[in-house]
Amino acid sequence: MVQKAKILLVDDRPENLLALEAILSALDQTLVRASSGEEALKALLTDDFAVILLDVQMPGMDGFETAAHIKRRERTRDIPIIFLTAINHGPHHTFRGYAAGAVDYISKPFDPWVLRAKVSVFVELYMKNCQLREQAALLRLQLEGGGRTAVGEAQESTGLLAELSARLAAVEEQAEALSKQLDDDSADAAAVATAAHLERKLTGLRRALDALEPGTDSGAPTLPTQN
């Protein structure tokens, strides 16, 4: 069963949170509410999120200050932030949002279809990254495991490498399709850059898997072949 991604919704007005939930419910992901910047930071201490929708105008800690705290934490600095604001103060205000680390800055009222499409891109990228980490963890466990005979270990490792290679190929195909979709839809630069970053990670993992194939001479440790 595929685990759902979590989306953090931060707004001090309950009616705005309710509206966001109605718009994003079609994505079938886990929506987490936070009614203040402080509450959002607490949620980020324990849970991983695919994307954060952050209201700019909030009493106490506003959206800009909240984003600054998020970007200072190593655990959360890479989570995409989409700023939502009901007040448009012009280019300077928008620039401040991007300077605070936002990947997008949307003024209210916004088009529900556009918002849902933008969020879905970051959810999909997050899921691809999760798959990538799982493949790498499986490989590390196999390579670090001990207590097996050389032949038995070689057989199991070879089988695991084949399985990982097949899974990685599927993720690579999905990532390529996503990149083409972003190009076709003229997506914002931040989404395209995030997709490119994911493709670089996939390329690195593919090279690592190729280096571990029996008979390679790349300087990386190779698995023994069965006679």
CATH hierarchy code of domain 6-110 = 3.40.50.2300
Mean pLDDT of 9-20: 95
Q: Could you report the per-residue pLDDT of 151-182, keeping only the tens digit for each?
A: 455 555 566 667 677 777 777 777 777 777 66
- Cα separation, 17 vs 10, in Å, equals 7
CB 14: neighbour CB atoms within 10 A?
10
Check whether domain 116-212 has CATH 1.20.58, yes or no: yes
Look at residue 203 in the predicted model and tell me its pLDDT.
77
**Backbone φ and ψ of 52, nearest 5°:** -120, 125
Nearest Cα to 85, choosing from 117, 118, 54?
54
CA 40-100-202 angle, 5° bins: 85
**Calpha distance 133→40 (Å, rounded):** 25
Rg (CA), the chain: 21
Distance CA 24, CA 30 (A): 10
Q: What pLDDT shows up at residue 172?
A: 72
What pLDDT is attached to residue 7? 97
pLDDT digits (tens, 9 = 90+) for 208-224: 767 666 554 444 444 44
Report which of 21, 59, 15, 19 is spatially closest to residue 37, judged by C-alpha positions.
59
**CA neighbours closer than 13 Å in the CB half-sphere of residue 92:** 1
**Helices in 7-62 by DSSP H: which ranges?**
14-24, 37-46
Q: In what order do the strands lie in the sheet with 81-85?
A: 30-34, 6-10, 51-55, 81-85, 104-107
Q: d(Cα 140, Cα 159) in Å, to the nearest integer? A: 14
User: Contact at 8 Å (CB) between 212 and 222?
Assistant: yes
Where in the chain is CATH 1.20.58?
116-212
Query: Model-level pTM?
Result: 0.63
Q: Please compute the mean of the pLDDT values over residues 47-71 and round it to a whole number.
A: 92
Is pLDDT of 184 > 90? no
Round the average pLDDT of the chain to a whole number and report it.
Answer: 78
Residue 84: CB partners within 8 Å, gap ≥ 6? 11, 53, 54, 55, 56, 106, 108, 110
Residue ranges matching CATH 3.40.50.2300 in the chain: 6-110
